C-alpha cells in the first residue's frame, strides 16, 4: 500500500496522549488528556498521581485516536512510544501499553526519544522542512541546542547546566504567586508589564559556548522580591513577569543566533513547551529574518507534550529499520 501508519503513544509527564500519523507528517488524530488541572492543586507535577492517571486514561485515549483516524488495527504498521526521558512511573504506563498491543496484535514496536519527538513536531506543519537544520528544544525538563544532521542523527551544541527554561518559568511563576504551570501564566501577565522594569542578569557560561544556565536568573528574581519586601517597595507582578521573560528570551535568542552565525545555518526551528510562547517566537522570527534564515515553529498544541510528534519521529526511525523488542524499558534519563 506504500503508506506507513503509526499509532503513537506519549505518557512521559502529565499528558496522556495517542495519535495516528501517516508517513510522519499527516496527522489523522491527536488526542491529549491533560492532567494539568489535577497537578495545579499541588503546584507542580506529582509523579505518583501522574502514573495513576495515565493508567486510568490510556485505553480511552488510544481508542479515541483510532476512532477519530477511522483506522483499523490492520492499517497500523507500527506502534511508536516514548520510552525516555521523563518520569519513570509515567513512562512505564505508555511503554507497557505499547508492548501489550505490539504483542497481542503482532505489530512492530518503535521506542522513541521524547526530545526527538519535540524536534519532529516541526515536520508536521512544515512539509518542506528536512534536515539539516538547527533546533532549540525548550521544555520543562530540557534546554538543548541541537544540530539535526539527518533524520535520527543529532549533535548537541549546548544544553542547560542547571534548570531548564520551562522549569525557570514554573519556579518564578510560583514565587510571584501565579501558580502552575508557570509558562503560559507568565506570558499572559507579561503583556501588561514593562520588560525593562527590572534589569535581571543574562547569564552566560564561560567555558561552554552554547550552554545555558537559568538558576542564577531564578535566584536574581527571588532576591529582587525579597529586597522589595524588606524595603517596602510594591511588587508589580506584571513587571517582574515581563522583565524575567525578556531575560530568558534574550539568552535563548543570543545563544541560537551565535550558533547560526558560527555554523552558517540557513534553517532554524524551535520546539518544546516554551516554544509555544508567542513573545519568544516573535523575537526568534525577527532575528532570523535579519539574517535571512528560514524560521520554523510548531503550533502551540504541537509544542507542548503530544503524541503526534512521537508518531512523526517514530516514522523516520521505522523507515531507518529501527525496531524495539518486547524487552523495551522506560529510561528516565535517556540521552539523545
Ligand atoms: O514540552 P512540555 O509540555 O513538557 C516537557 O517535556 O517538559 O513543556 C512544559 C513546559 C512547562 O515548564 C511550561 O511552563 C512551559 O513548557 N510552557 C511555557 C509556555 N507554555 C508552556 N513557557 C513559556 N511560555 C509559554 N507560553
Ligand atoms: Zn516534552
The CA dihedral of 145, 109, 317, 119, to the nearest 10 degrees, is -30
Helix (H, G, I), strand (E, B) or coil at 165: helix
Residue 58's pLDDT band (cuts 50, 70, 90):
very high
- Ligand 1, atom 14: nearest CA belongs to which residue? 183
Ligand 1 centroid to 36 CA: how many Å? 11
Alpha-carbon gap, residue 308 to 188, rounded angstroms = 26
Between CA 138 and CA 275 the distance in angstroms is 6
Instruction: Check pLDDT > 90 for residue 207.
Output: no
Interface predicted TM-score (ipTM): 0.99
Residue 1: predicted pLDDT: 55
* pLDDT tens-digit map of 257-303: 999 999 999 999 999 999 999 999 999 999 999 999 999 999 999 99
In this predicted model, what pLDDT tens digit does every residue of 13-54 receive, in sequence order?
999 999 999 999 999 999 999 999 999 889 889 999 999 999
Among 172, 275, 304, 307, say which to mutate for ligand 1: greatest number of ligand atoms within 8 Å of CB: 304
| Binding residue ranges for Fe cation | 114, 118, 305
The protein residue with its alpha carbon nearest to ligand 1, atom 16, reads 273
Q: What is the DSSP string of 282-318?
A: HHHHHHHHHTT-EEE---HHHHSS-SHHHHHHHHHHH
Residues with CB under 6 A from ligand 1: 13, 139-141, 166-167, 169-170, 181-184, 187, 272-274, 276-277, 304-305
Domains of the chain: 5-120+303-319 (3.30.420.40), 131-298 (3.30.420.40)
Residue 206 clears pLDDT 80, i.e. is over it = no
Give rounded-to-5 percent helix, strand, coil for the chain. Answer: 45, 20, 35
Query: pTM for this one?
Result: 0.97
Please identify, by atom number, the ligand 1 atom nearest to the C-alpha of residue 181: 14
Give the ligand with the smallest distance to the CA of 188.
1
| pLDDT (average), residues 107-125 | 98
Give me the pLDDT at residue 208, please.
79
Provide the pLDDT for residue 43: 87
Amino acid at each position: 500500500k506504500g503508506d506507513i501508519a503509526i499509532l503513537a503513544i506519549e505518557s512521559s509527564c502529565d499528558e496522556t496522549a495517542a495519535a495516528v500519523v501517516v508517513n510522519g507528517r499527516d496527522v489523522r488524530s491527536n488526542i491529549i488528556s491533560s492532567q494539568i488541572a489535577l497537578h495545579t492543586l499541588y503546584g507542580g507535577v506529582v509523579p505518583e498521581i501522574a502514573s495513576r492517571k495515565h493508567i486510568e486514561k490510556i485505553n480511552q485515549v488510544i481508542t479515541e485516536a483510532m476512532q477519530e483516524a477511522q483506522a483499523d488495527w490492520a492499517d497500523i504498521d507500527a506502534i511508536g512510544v516514548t520510552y525516555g526521558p521523563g518520569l519513570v512511573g509515567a513512562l512505564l504506563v505508555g511503554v507497557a501499553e505499547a508492548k501489550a498491543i505490539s504483542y497481542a496484535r503482532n505489530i512492530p514496536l518503535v521506542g522513541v526519544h521524547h526530545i526527538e519527538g519535540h524536534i519532529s513536531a516541526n515536520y508536521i506543519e512544515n512539509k518542506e522542512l528536512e534536515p539539516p537544520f538547527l533546533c532549540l528544544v525548550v521544555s520543562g525538563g530540557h534546554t538543548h541546542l541541537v544540530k539535526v544532521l539527518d533524520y535520527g542523527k543529532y549533535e548537541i551544541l549546548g544544553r542547560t547546566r542547571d534548570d531548564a527554561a520551562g522549569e525557570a518559568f514554573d519556579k518564578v511563576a510560583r514565587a510571584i504567586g501565579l501558580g502552575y504551570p508557570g509558562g503560559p501564566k507568565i506570558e499572559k501577565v507579561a503583556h501588561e508589564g514593562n520588560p525593562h522594569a527590572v534589569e535581571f542578569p543574562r547569564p552566560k557560561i564561560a567555558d561552554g559556548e552554547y550552554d545555558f544556565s537559568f538558576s542564577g536568573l531564578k535566584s536574581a528574581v527571588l532576591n529582587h522580591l525579597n529586597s522589595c519586601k524588606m524595603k517596602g517597595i510594591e511588587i508589580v507582578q506584571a513587571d517582574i513577569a515581563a522583565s524575567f521573560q525578556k531575560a530568558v528570551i534574550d539568552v535563548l535568542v543570543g545563544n541560537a543566533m551565535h550558533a547560526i552565525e558560527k555554523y552558517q545555518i540557513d534553517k532554524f526551528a524551535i520546539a518544546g513547551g516554551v516554544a509555544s510562547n508567542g513573545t519568544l517566537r516573535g523575537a526568534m522570527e525577527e532575528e532570523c529574518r535579519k539574517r535571512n534564515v528560514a524560521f520554523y515553529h510548531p503550533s502551540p498544541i504541537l509544542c507542548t507534550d503530544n503524541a503526534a510528534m512521537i508518531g512523526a519521529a517514530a516514522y523516520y526511525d521505522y523507515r531507518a529499520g529501527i525496531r524495539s523488542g518486547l524487552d523495551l524499558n522506560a529510561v528516565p534519563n535517556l540521552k539523545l
